[in-house]
A and B are shown apart, each in its own frame.
Chain A
Amino acid sequence: MKLRSSSIVLMLLFIFQSCSYFPEDFDRDETPSLTETIKYIKIGDQGSKALIFYPGGLVDPFAYVNMLSAVAGDDVVVFIPKVPYNLAILNINHAEEIKKAFPDIKEWSVGGHSLGGAVACFVINDHPSEYENLFLLAAYPSESTDLKSFEGTSIVLFGSNDGVADLEKLINSRDQFNNPVDVEDIDFIEKTASTSFFYQIEGGNHGNFGNYGFQKGDRESTITREEQQSTSILIMSKILAQ
């Protein structure tokens, strides 16, 4: 009986730990040129530039459509990979698969939120010369990741009220980047080779980089989600346009 009870508890714990965050409703009619396949979500018709954005761990990829639809523009296409079990770490090569499917796109950038950002760092580690920009939202590289070989622009955005990401590790990860620069004004963020900009969004938290509700362990944001995402959109769009 005792063994049976422990197995049931283990099973329930495992199931609970596997839960994902369901995305909030969004209006497809307001999302320009959204198409999806079994492997990714594509926002934008066509362009010479593209951003591959890995979703956060256990977050449905559609939770990022609202924000990234504002990043997609006339010449920029955004891809959100659909990953097994909603864990980007289970398919690090997904970005390469997408690139192979769209050989006409000339300039690629990669990024991600939280665990997705860590995976984006693995991609840069493996293919440093194939990407122009790296965007990390509430994310930092693992200790074994080498970003010094990356000659593009890195942007690291994080909220001051982030209760999920380890902000101390995030800040200490600056040593893994090329020429880290802390900025307090987003006007100073420009596309600059071999340079990494760190910008803290005052009052922002972890979950407001996506649209999936409040995340367990996070702290309350003192700014609205729209404000946090507007800042992120402004910076990413600016870098992608340059």
Chain B
Amino acid sequence: MRFVIAFVVVFACSVNGIAQRLTIDLESFPTLTQDYGKSIIAPYSGIGLTYFYDKYATGLNYRSVPWGSEVSVSQAFNIPFYQSEKIAVGSSSQVYVGVPLYYNKFSTSLGASSRVTLKFEKFQRIFISGGLGYHISPSYRSISSKYQFVEGILAFHIALLK
């Protein structure tokens, strides 16, 4: 975990501030699944960096998944819906390509998500988002039945640069 924190801090410091906004993203992906007739939620977690520019955002993410862990690069399109003195609401549609981290096999995963973002003007550097996504790793299909799923998304974003 210390390594993760060090990586995030060093990477963030290395950006020269061209972006309108750079955020650290702390994410949870509660996955609803059926096991023996019971619904259970199995949360996966991740951390990422997102670089916002105008209505677009590019992200780099590391997360746990049913097949271990993976890094992914994402591209999102953001639309603001509503803004008042206290709150700003928007939506974000995102697609990503991931690389499951294996020593002895290279493969890719794909995903897409749609989220609602909420920013409270009282907290200038913090906003939250939530939504739904779909994630698949075709190469894991030969190993496990849990190679694709619909996932919930809950995220907490901290702006490093504004």
Question: When the two chains form their complex, are residues B101 and A60 in contact, meaning their CB atoms are under 8 A apart?
Answer: no
Candidates A17, A36, A39, A212; contact of B104 at CB < 8 Å: A212
Contact between chains at B104 and A21 (CB < 8 Å): yes
- Mask, A7-18, CB within 8 Å of B = 1, is 110110011011
Q: Which of B17-76 contact A (CB under 8 A)?
A: 31, 33, 35-36, 40, 42, 44-45, 62, 64, 66-69, 71
Contacts of A212 in B (CB 8 A): 104
* Given contacts A3-B10, A14-B4, A36-B146, A213 and B64 within 8 Å (CB-CB): no
A60 to B103 CA separation, bound complex (whole angstroms): 11
Whole-angstrom distance between the alpha carbons of A6 and B6 in the complex? 11
Stretch at the interface among B114-122, B126-134, B137-145: B137-145
Contacts of B68 in A (CB 8 A): 20, 58, 60, 85-86
Is there an interface contact between B14 and A7, defined as CB atoms closer than 8 Å? yes
Are B103 and A36 touching (Cβ within 8 A)? no
Query: Judging by beta carbons under 8 Å apart, are B7 and A85 in contact?
Result: no
How far is A85 from B46 in the complex, measured between Cα atoms in Å? 10
Q: Which residues of B contact A22 (CB under 8 A)?
A: 102-105, 143
Interface size on A, residues (CB 8 A): 31
- Nearest CB in chain A to that of B102: its residue: A22
How many residues on chain B are close to A (CB under 8 Å)?
Answer: 33
Q: Is A32 an interface residue (CB 8 A)?
A: no
Q: Which of A80-134 contact B (CB under 8 A)?
A: 82, 84-86
Q: B22 CB to closest chain A CB, in angstroms? A: 13
Cα distance, A101 to B121, chains bound together (Å): 45
Determine the main DSSP class of A at the interface with B: mixed
Question: What mask results when residues 198 to 242 of chain A are scored 1 for a CB within 8 Å of chain B, else 0?
Answer: 000000000000001100100000000000000000000000000
Q: Say yes or no: is B87 at the interface (Cβ < 8 Å to chain A).
A: no
A86 to B44, CA, bound (A): 12
Most A-side CB within 10 Å, residue of B4, B42, B66, B68 = B68
Cβ–Cβ contact A6 & B104, under 8 A: no
Q: How far is the CA of A19 from the CA of B102 in the complex (A)?
A: 5
Q: Does A62 contact B (CB under 8 A)?
A: yes
A19 to B10, CA, bound (A): 21
User: Nearest 10 CB-CB pairs, A to B?
Assistant: A20-B68, A37-B35, A22-B105, A7-B14, A4-B14, A38-B42, A22-B102, A86-B68, A7-B10, A19-B101
17 more CB-based (< 8 A) A-B contacts, given A3-B14, A7-B7, A38-B146: A10-B7, A15-B101, A17-B3, A18-B62, A20-B67, A22-B104, A23-B143, A25-B142, A25-B143, A36-B145, A60-B68, A82-B66, A84-B45, A85-B68, A85-B69, A212-B104, A216-B103
Which residues of A come within 8 Å of B, CB atoms? Answer: 3-4, 6-8, 10-11, 14-15, 17-23, 25, 36-39, 58, 60, 62, 82, 84-86, 212-213, 216
**Chain B contact residues, CB within 8 Å of chain A:** 3-4, 6-7, 10-11, 13-14, 31, 33, 35-36, 40, 42, 44-45, 62, 64, 66-69, 71, 101-105, 142-146
